[in-house]
Structure 1
């Protein structure tokens, strides 16, 4: 089957962004992939505006610091500490919603999609809203830049240093957690270094920490000055030296490239293509934008086997629905509830390895909810959803919190502006309307036969027909794929 121009363009928009937007969906038959890619690059060139929920120390630093005494604030009572943690959780919810809005509405689609990828790669869960806000900005600013800079800045962020216990890493008492994850998850991947490399690397990272203002600080008196041997190199290394040694390894370029390939192209990595891409990535000095250009401008990216084969993450699913169907969200809490129930809460990854993705997104309960979401949003339905109970990942809200959240969304969730959606199809004759809607909404070859679908559609008016066709198609298993 020949892949249509529209399908190729939608494929690019789903993988390099969060799907087509109502305003531009009608033009996707005409524009070329090359032009569309140039537009994606151009719109993502600007430095992102910071999403700010905590402005300073008082706002952010002590909110949710679990080791308050360590941070020289012994005068805080237990109630104050609790209040601080609760405020930080509120801030993190606001940060979550505001970033999700950027993914939906910001024209810098490529930057925000890359940022979501790095958010999972550099998975970090600390309750300090100020730290999380600063780390997000670091990721968004460097998402399409150079991986060397991104790695270095993330490694020096208070968020990551706290999450991976490097604040406790000092000479004669090294903590190996940070060094291990930098090698295993951020650069080379498991099996490409030894336990001794981790031990020696941890000694090099001694003294890396942060101060009370939430700024990186090198504590010279806590740094191990003796000689270390990491990946066959010997010297009086510090943390920066170890990062340089890791970046010198071609394995690092290969590990990152393979992960990017599986995220943006296909869950099944093509080793030949990964090898070619990773060599280019290494030769280009870890230029992320050039790597993505190599992928998105290749002919093989648009082959049928790569289209409509990836399961959308919960965030991609929500953002994609809201991009095609412009909505005024009457209740932001609904989006948090969807994230919780579907297993992807921004800023709360399940562990240091991030979200596993792929088929892990779907189980029997999450699939049923996924199929209902378009109706819940467009029909302004009352929601009665039981989020999964996993308090460690659930923003600290057990049953009482879950009930509070459900109650908050009982008054309905969103109002959809159908005028922009109708415009997509204004020149399409009535007899071609259903096939046109289907190819705009779905990325898969197989779908419900039109004759069967027709029975469930509202044919009272052209507008009702479009609305019912889109919502019904979004409620099919095929819509879960992009």
Structure 2
């Protein structure tokens, strides 16, 4: 591919920094200098609206949990009902976040938060939808701020402390899980610390706990106050001291920058580019916005080798489709069905390392469903595919039985408006430039033409071509 045109650059920027663009957004942005478009994306993401499906006072407390016992015995029916209710609240949180991704002007913030959700992977535990709500809002609020603030805040989230077993980390009985993952997955990466560092850091994190109401609390009586030796330094360190040490280590900047590069630019890392970005990231005091703006304004970001090199995650695919065409689901359940079937259910990453991404998104069991998804959504086609089983009772509670039919409303009028100036012969290519990372090949153009019918009105033709273009393999790429 030759050097990108201004329209191709703009489309690519929106695909990577956000969840794609509507035809109107693309038309407006293409008329502006690229620097101004990038600045506007950051400006639109300055504010964040909190997700809210459960109020703190509604969360389970010990008093409520006692109500699940009858005559000293656990009331299984009441417990099942409670678990189902909590799973539904997490589902509602999932759907509310999807809505923010698809419709909010703060698309860059939401895309960055999706990245952090995979990096600071945390899986919903049975009893606490409030904990997941607080966790989600923390990563969204800090998504474009300073890494130090984000790392400290997410490490103190009850959802994370619970997921990584730090509630069981006590003086004289340390649990190393939390300390290990903070180093291996959140900051330094595997191989950049010793087992001794982990053992000593676990002692420093003793006392980091949470209340049933979802508040972080430091409990001195179970904290190990003795001296610890970590990274060659000795002192009566607490958890905050460990976080500070990790941020002092340039390897943290290198590890985080590398993951951001592979997510937003190319899975094949350019060492020279990543090293330069990591150095800048470290010197800026880990300013995430500064790092991302540098990436989006770099000439190399728009190299042809990066275009189409990213396979959309299931959430990116679903949200992008919704945003581009203004799709609204009459019932919310199909969006959960899509996530489960394609293997990325928000708040249920497969493990502490998050979703592997890249080519792992494409497998024989989900590829056909991926390719047919636009038709399912745009044409209300019957779905016979079954979602993947992950062995988690909480996600199984979200399953729908039997066949699914996607009933949606599509904002075709707004989408079609962008093509009023395109002649009939230009129409296919005009729509393709909005939807695909690459120009159409002659054989693809012929195939698409064959799918339109004589006598179709122009709106009908646009709708037919749009569904056909979205069913091409290239639509799976950004």
Q: Do the structures match in fold with TM over 0.5?
A: yes
Tell me the residue number matched to 1:106.
104
Return the offset for 1:33.
1.6
Measure the CA separation in 2 of the matches of 1:248 and 1:197. Answer: 15
Tell me the residue number matched to 2:19.
18
Aligned 8 A contact 2:321 2:327 in 1: no
Measure the CA separation in 1 of the matches of 2:198 and 2:152. Answer: 18
Which aligned pairs between 1:227-238 and structure 2 lie closer than 5 A? 227-238=227-238
Q: In terms of mean alpha carbon deviation, does 297-306 or 319-328 score higher?
A: 319-328
Q: Secondary structure of 2:375's partner?
A: helix
Select 1:474's aligned residue among 463, 470, 477.
470
Measure the CA separation in 2 of the matches of 1:458 and 1:300. Answer: 42
Measure the CA separation in 1 of the matches of 2:233 and 2:85. Answer: 46
Say what the alpha-carbon RMSD is for the aligned residues: 2.0
Q: In terms of mean alpha carbon deviation, does 157-166 or 439-448 score higher?
A: 439-448
Tell me the residue number matched to 2:423.
429
Return the offset for 1:12.
0.7
Tell me the residue number matched to 2:172.
172
CA pair 165-390 structure 1, distance change in 2 beyond 3 A? same
Measure the CA separation in 2 of the matches of 1:441 and 1:248. Answer: 43
- Deviation per CA, 1:261-300: give whole Å up to 9, x if none: 0000000111100000000000000000000011001111
Question: Under a length normalisation based on structure 1, what TM-score does the superposition of the two structures give?
Answer: 0.94
CA pair 201-124 structure 1, distance change in 2 beyond 3 A? same
Number of aligned positions between the proteins: 471
Select 1:464's aligned residue among 460, 465, 472.
460
Measure the CA separation in 2 of the matches of 1:420 and 1:368. Answer: 29
CA pair 43-22 structure 1, distance change in 2 beyond 3 A? same
Tell me the residue number matched to 2:93.
95
- Deviation per CA, 1:38-59: give whole Å up to 9, x if none: 110110011x121111102433
- Deviation per CA, 1:193-219: give whole Å up to 9, x if none: 000000000000011101122101111
- Deviation per CA, 1:148-180: give whole Å up to 9, x if none: 000000111100000000001001100000000
Tell me the residue number matched to 2:75.
77
- Deviation per CA, 1:350-393: give whole Å up to 9, x if none: 0000000000000112110011111111112232221112222x
Aligned 8 A contact 2:431 2:466 in 1: yes
Aligned 8 A contact 1:5 1:28 in 2: no
Aligned 8 A contact 1:10 1:20 in 2: yes
1:386 maps onto 2:381 in alignment: no
1:119 maps onto 2:120 in alignment: no
Measure the CA separation in 2 of the matches of 1:417 and 1:477. Answer: 24
Measure the CA separation in 1 of the matches of 2:178 and 2:327. Answer: 42
Measure the CA separation in 1 of the matches of 2:74 and 2:54. Answer: 20
Which aligned pairs between 1:41-440 and structure 2 lie closer than 5 A? 41-46=42-47, 48-59=48-59, 77-127=75-125, 128-392=128-392, 395-397=394-396, 402-404=399-401, 406=402, 409-410=404-405, 412-440=406-434
Measure the CA separation in 1 of the matches of 2:213 and 2:390. Answer: 32
Q: In terms of mean alpha carbon deviation, does 54-63 or 171-180 score higher?
A: 54-63
Q: Secondary structure of 1:31's partner?
A: coil
Return the offset for 1:19.
0.2
Aligned 8 A contact 1:339 1:345 in 2: yes
1:7 maps onto 2:8 in alignment: yes
Measure the CA separation in 2 of the matches of 1:72 and 1:300. Answer: 62
Measure the CA separation in 2 of the matches of 1:84 and 1:237. Answer: 40
Return the offset for 1:445.
4.7
Return the offset for 1:92.
0.5
- Deviation per CA, 1:110-155: give whole Å up to 9, x if none: 1000000001111001332100000111111100000000000011
Return the offset for 1:434.
1.2
Aligned 8 A contact 1:61 1:130 in 2: no
Return the offset for 1:340.
0.3
Aligned 8 A contact 2:7 2:30 in 1: yes
**Which 5+ residue runs of structure 2 have no aligned equivalent?**
none
Return the offset for 1:104.
0.3
Aligned 8 A contact 2:433 2:439 in 1: no
Return the offset for 1:417.
2.1
Return the offset for 1:62.
7.1
Tell me the residue number matched to 2:437.
443
Q: Secondary structure of 2:282's partner?
A: helix
CA pair 61-103 structure 1, distance change in 2 beyond 3 A? farther
Q: Secondary structure of 2:224's partner?
A: coil
